[in-house]
């Protein structure tokens, strides 16, 4: 039987390295799963995502999905929170449940020696959470504590201000943990509803890496997820309308170092110029000590410990943003440098030397990401959610190398918009 199955669900197999390739499987019940088989270490890393996440919470129930995900390990079926934790400890399995704006995620690691028991335990938490009232109250108090701490954290304050203006009433405009009011009002029924709407098979993405055969994985995934609803009646959000103004807004907060968050509209992940934009961002404000902003703001002037910019290309909105912190009396100077660099790259683009150097870095760094079961599983599930094909791992560097100086500078001219740069500063900066 096993042999027949393997022919049925083995569609594609793309070489990743000599040692491993990505297998794309379809389980008997129709779930798509990507696998990299690697029997070196006796465990499996499994990644599970459901598209939707906190952004499908109704506005008056904001935070329901976040609280629901935090409660999956706090009692299910016949197990209390403590029973569940003890069972997990006995198996030395690790499960983590997270909620994000665009998805909820479950990351699991379990040993080969007790794989079936671990999966049965994980299944119980996903399928039959109890949302017992004492657990709900206990975890609700933790979420409220987090929200309270976040009110006096300058990085959180600046992020909230930016999101509120950028996205307004779109779900991206709110905190995915909800507000004090909405979280306090959530009922057990709200949590059961959030569970029913969030974890549905037609929004599921699964990857696994490690010590397991495709046959066993296929059966495992079906066993894990059988019984979840097929569809959700809560629709995914619409695209957000960006409502960012321009210029600086200061939010007064008594702290010695101001935090700045800045940006404007960005570029979609599937835009034909995305790779050019990706290279541009790397040159302008990417990681390491090599970017223009790091050189000008940190290395040459000592105005910050770290500055970075990011293309945040999400399901329903795209922005290019950046962040740094400077002492209150130096923030003004740092912002002047930032604005002048923003204008400079838009007007003059980048040099051939910068482009070549960055291509070498990005193409050399890409394979280094695939260096363990857990990181590979994470990359694979991310690719699935973006609608990429397994072969992407072999063509991605070609796409980076194909970007020309002409193309990248044409993109720089429209991507960076100095007159639209919106800057929020939290602190008491001298400007």
Partner 1 sequence: MQLIRLLSLSFLSLITLSGVNAGTSEQVTDYMLDNGMQVVVIEDHRAPVVVHMVWYKAGSGEEDPGVSGVAHFLEHLLFKKTKTLESGEFSRIVAENGGSGNAFTSFDYTGYFQRVAADRLPLMMRMEADRMINLDLGPEDILTEREVIIEERNQRVENDPGALFREQRNAALYLNHPYGIPIIGWRHEMEQLDLEDALAFYRQFYAPNNAVLVVAGDVEPENVLQLAKDTYGKIPPNPKLQERNRRQEPPHTSARRMTFYDERVGQPYVIRTYLAPERDPGAQKDAAALTLLAEILGGGQTSVLTQKLQFETQTAVYAGAFYNGTALDDTTFGLIVVPSEGVSLQEAEDAMDKTVLEFIEAGVDEEQLARLKMQFRASEIYARDNVKGLANAYGVALTSGLQLQDIEAWPDIVQGVTGEEIIEAAKAVFVKEKSVTGWLMKDEGDAK
Find the binding residues for partner 1 in span 285-314 (CB under 8 A).
Answer: 287-290, 295, 298-306
Residue 56 CB neighbours (<10 A) = 24
256 binds partner 1 (CB under 8 A): yes
CB of 109 to partner 1, least distance (A): 6
**Where are the alpha helices (H) located in 326-425, listed in sequence order?**
331-348, 352-365, 373-385, 392-401, 405-415
Cβ closest to partner 1, residue 227 vs residue 256? 256
Which range of residues in 54-62, 254-262, 340-348, 405-413 is near partner 1 by CB under 8 A? 254-262
Distance of CA 34 to the CA centre of its chain: 19
Which range of residues in 21-29, 77-85, 119-127, 414-422 is near partner 1 by CB under 8 A? 77-85
The footprint of partner 1 on residues 394-413 (CB under 8 A) is: none
Q: Write the DSSP symbol of residue 296.
A: I
The footprint of partner 1 on residues 83-122 (CB under 8 A) is: 84-86, 89-92, 94, 109, 111
149 binds partner 1 (CB under 8 A): yes
Q: Which of 58, 77, 146, 418 binds partner 1 (CB under 8 A)?
A: 146
Distance of CA 47 to the CA centre of its chain: 13
The footprint of partner 1 on residues 410-429 (CB under 8 A) is: none
Answer whether 389's CB lies under 8 Å from 24's CB. no
Which range of residues in 234-242, 336-344, 365-373, 405-413 is near partner 1 by CB under 8 A? 365-373
Q: From CA 60, how far away is CA 65, in angstroms rounded?
A: 12
The footprint of partner 1 on residues 172-211 (CB under 8 A) is: none
The footprint of partner 1 on residues 3-22 (CB under 8 A) is: 17, 19-20
Answer whether 292's CB lies under 8 Å from 285's CB. yes
Cβ closest to partner 1, residue 1 vs residue 368? 368
Element (H, E) at 5: helix 2-9
Q: From CA 160, how far away is CA 419, in angstroms rounded?
A: 23
1 binds partner 1 (CB under 8 A): no
Q: Which of 257, 394, 407, 428 binds partner 1 (CB under 8 A)?
A: 257
Sheet containing 422-427: give its strands across.
247-252, 422-427, 257-265, 318-327, 307-313
CB of 303 to partner 1, least distance (A): 7
CB of 424 to partner 1, least distance (A): 16
Cβ closest to partner 1, residue 29 vs residue 96? 96
213 binds partner 1 (CB under 8 A): no
371 binds partner 1 (CB under 8 A): yes
CB of 238 to partner 1, least distance (A): 30
Q: From CA 249, how far away is CA 35, in angstroms rounded?
A: 48
Q: Which of 132, 153, 165, 222 binds partner 1 (CB under 8 A)?
A: 153
CB of 221 to partner 1, least distance (A): 21
Cα 313 to Cα 316, 327, 330, 369, 396, distances in angstroms: 8, 30, 31, 20, 17
Q: Is the dihedral of CA 109, 110, 112, 115 positive or negative?
A: negative
Q: How many helices (H) and strands (E) does the chain have?
A: 16, 14
The footprint of partner 1 on residues 26-65 (CB under 8 A) is: 38, 40-43, 45
CB of 81 to partner 1, least distance (A): 6
Q: What are phi and psi of 252, to 5 degrees?
A: -70, 125
Answer whether 162's CB lies under 8 Å from 261's CB. yes
The footprint of partner 1 on residues 320-339 (CB under 8 A) is: 325-327, 330
Q: What are phi and psi of 318, to 5 degrees?
A: -130, 125
Tokens at 3, concatenated = 């042999």
CB of 184 to partner 1, least distance (A): 11
CB of 283 to partner 1, least distance (A): 11
CB of 169 to partner 1, least distance (A): 26
Q: From CA 400, how far away is CA 164, in angstroms rounded?
A: 34
Tokens at 346, concatenated = 């838009």
The footprint of partner 1 on residues 340-359 (CB under 8 A) is: 357
Cβ closest to partner 1, residue 31 vs residue 136? 136
């Amino acid at each position: 039987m096993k042999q027949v199955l393997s022919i049925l669900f083995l569609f594609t197999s793309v070489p990743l390295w000599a040692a491993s390739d990505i297998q794309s499987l379809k389980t008997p019940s129709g779930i798509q799963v990507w696998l990299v088989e690697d029997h070196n270490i006796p465990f499996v890393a499994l990644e599970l995502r459901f598209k939707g996440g906190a952004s499908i919470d109704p506005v008056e129930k904001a935070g329901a999905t976040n609280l629901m995900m935090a409660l999956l390990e706090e009692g299910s079926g016949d197990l209390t929170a403590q029973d569940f934790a003890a069972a997990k400890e006995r198996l030395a399995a690790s499960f983590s449940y997270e909620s994000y704006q665009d998805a909820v995620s479950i990351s699991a690691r379990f040993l080969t020696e007790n794989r079936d028991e671990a999966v049965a335990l994980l299944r119980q938490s996903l399928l039959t959470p109890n949302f017992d009232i004492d657990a709900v109250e206990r975890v609700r108090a933790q979420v409220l504590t987090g929200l309270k701490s976040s009110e006096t954290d300058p990085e959180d304050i600046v992020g909230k201000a930016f999101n509120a203006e950028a996205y307004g009433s779109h779900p991206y405009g709110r905190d995915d943990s909800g507000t004090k009011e909405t979280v306090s009002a959530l009922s057990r029924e709200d949590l059961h509803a959030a569970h029913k709407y969030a974890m549905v098979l037609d929004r599921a993405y699964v990857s696994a890496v490690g010590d397991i055969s495709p046959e066993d994985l296929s059966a495992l995934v079906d066993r894990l997820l059988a019984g979840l609803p097929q569809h959700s009646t809560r629709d995914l959000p619409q695209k957000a309308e960006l409502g960012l103004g321009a210029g600086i807004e200061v939010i007064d907060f008594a702290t010695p170092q101001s935090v700045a968050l800045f940006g404007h509209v960005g570029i979609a992940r599937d835009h034909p110029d995305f790779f050019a934009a990706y290279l541009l961002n790397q040159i302008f404000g990417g990681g390491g000590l090599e970017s223009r902003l790091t050189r000008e703001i940190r290395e040459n002037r000592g105005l910050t410990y770290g500055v970075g910019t990011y293309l945040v290309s999400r399901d329903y909105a795209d922005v290019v943003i950046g962040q740094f912190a400077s002492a209150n009396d130096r923030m003004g100077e740092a912002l002047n440098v930032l604005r002048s660099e923003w204008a400079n790259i838009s007007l003059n683009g980048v040099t051939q030397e910068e482009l070549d150097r960055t291509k070498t870095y990005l193409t050399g760094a890409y394979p280094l990401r695939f260096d363990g079961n857990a990181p590979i599983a994470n990359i694979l599930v991310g690719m699935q959610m973006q609608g990429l094909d397994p072969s992407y791992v072999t063509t991605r560097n070609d796409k980076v190398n194909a970007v020309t100086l002409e193309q990248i500078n044409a993109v720089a001219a429209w991507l960076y918009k100095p007159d639209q740069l919106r800057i929020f500063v939290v602190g008491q900066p001298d400007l």
